[in-house]
Structure 1
Amino acid sequence: MTDVQEAYRLLVADVYELAGTSRRTSEAIAATTGQTSARWHVLSVLSGGPATVATVARRLGLARQSVQRVGDDLVADGLVARHDNPDHRTAPLLALTGAGREALTALVARGDAARARVLTEAGVTARELLDCRDVLRRLTAALSASP
């Protein structure tokens, strides 16, 4: 084993830990607005425009069925609407409603405030985060290209 392989394993372990901690804190933030982090994630994806459940699931790396359940709940609560999909008759498009945009705006505002405190406490810079992101994206691309 080389130093770079060991460093990679340590990085991956830390990424998993960060992701888990971030999910837990996101869940707590979402709860303050009567939402869940799953609903927040779907709303965030739909903020980029209408999408099918399958598209949202791929983007989030989740099973289509779990996104379907969340989407159904968001529709029932009036935060998301279903629209005909001209490209696929049986796969409607999900789109944010005005109430959905308001809910997402509230979630983002609370999340940004909480994350600002964390980033200040951690003493990280935007450059450091962007450099980290670059490394993670290169690793993801290389892993995706591997058999």
Structure 2
Amino acid sequence: MTERKQGRVDAYRLLMADVYELAGESRRSSEELAREAGQTAARWHVMSVLSDGSRTVASAARRLGLARQSVQRVVDDLARAGMVELHDNPDHRRAPLVTLTEAGLVTLTGLLERSDADRRDAVDRARVSLSDLENARATLRRLVDALQSR
């Protein structure tokens, strides 16, 4: 492998290490924000996935990259708390559609407002511009697309 190609591979590895570290820090702060609101990050993530419409548990799990069983446990917990409702699915009798209730939407909105304020503060402290974020995202999307298309 040429030195230039090896340099790009090394830079990719370092980028991934930073992405993992950022994801970990983001997860920790999300857990803290969720805990302050009497929730968990897992519940928050499932409610977020449901915010754009009804889904099956399997669909939510795929979107989150998690096992269906773990998402099912969270959905059951959210249903007991009145945050989601299960509805008949005309396409699959044994896979109900999960929908946010008004209480779930109010809870999610509160979590998002807290998170937005926290993330705004982090972006300000990092002195990161909108352009910086858009360029970083575009680079990450190209890498994701390349990995998915192999």
Range into which the TM-score falls when normalised by the shorter chain:
over 0.9
Distance 1:76 1:99 in 2: 12
- Work out which of the two has the higher radius of gyration on C-alpha atoms and give 1 or 2: 2
Q: Shift of residue 17 of structure 1?
A: 0.6
Could you say what secondary structure the match of 1:89 adopts?
coil
- TM-score, normalisation: structure 2: 0.95
Distance 2:76 2:123 in 1: 35
What's the Cα RMSD here?
0.7
Identity across the alignment (%) = 59
Query: Gapped runs of 5+ residues in structure 2?
Result: none
Query: Gapped runs of 5+ residues in structure 1?
Result: none
1:38 has 2:28 as partner: no
1:100 has 2:104 as partner: yes
Following TM superposition, where does structure 1 have runs of at least 4 consecutive aligned residues deviating by more than 6 angstroms? none
Distance 1:125 1:91 in 2: 43
Residue 144 of structure 1 aligns with an amino acid whose one-letter code is Q
Q: Shift of residue 16 of structure 1?
A: 0.5
Aligned to 2:24: 20
Could you say what secondary structure the match of 1:48 adopts?
coil
1:87 has 2:91 as partner: yes
Distance 1:113 1:13 in 2: 26
Q: Shift of residue 89 of structure 1?
A: 0.5
Could you say what secondary structure the match of 2:98 adopts?
strand
Distance 2:69 2:53 in 1: 21
Aligned to 1:115: 119
Distance 1:25 1:4 in 2: 31
1:52 has 2:48 as partner: no
Aligned to 2:67: 63
